[in-house]
Amino acid sequence: MSGKPELAEDFRDVKKENVGRRISFWAALVFSIGLTGWYYLTSPPDSPEVRQMRMFFKENIMEVTKFIRLPYDERVEFAKKKQHSFYRTFIEASEVEKKKIKALIHISYDYTPNQYWFNILFLWVIFFSTFWFLGLIVEAVVILVRSDDAKRKQRHRQKTS
User: Does residue 160 carry a pLDDT above 50?
Assistant: yes
pLDDT tens digits, one per residue of 2-34: 444 444 455 667 888 888 889 999 999 999 999
Q: Does this model's pTM top 0.75?
A: no
Nearest alpha carbon to residue 108 among 60, 48, 69, 63: 60
pLDDT tens digits, one per residue of 40-82: 999 999 899 989 999 999 999 999 999 999 998 999 999 888 8
Distances (CA, A) of 37 to 52, 69, 112, 125: 25, 39, 22, 13
